[in-house]
Amino acid sequence: MLTHFDFVYAGESAKFQMPFVNLALVPEFGASYSVPAQLGYVAAAELILLGSPFDASGLSSSDS
């Protein structure tokens, strides 16, 4: 769902997850196309294929 928005704001303690592998599902098109386009193939593969929770600080794209 996060890949469908231009801006995403999250608190420092927010946790996200790509649950497809944990539910034995194939990733939907938004995840399989948008996530690699935004994060790069290796980072997207780690998020989608491992299904581990991640926090907002690890995905920050701002230069702060």
Q: What is the pLDDT of residue 63?
A: 41
pTM: 0.63
Instruction: Flag the least confident range among 19-23, 39-43, 60-64.
Output: 60-64
Tens digit of pLDDT for each residue in 26-58?
877 777 888 888 888 898 888 888 888 888 776
Q: Answer yes or no: is pLDDT of 13 > 80.
A: yes
**DSSP string across 6-50:** S-----TT-EE---TGGGT-PPPHIIIIIHHHHH-HHHHHHHHHH
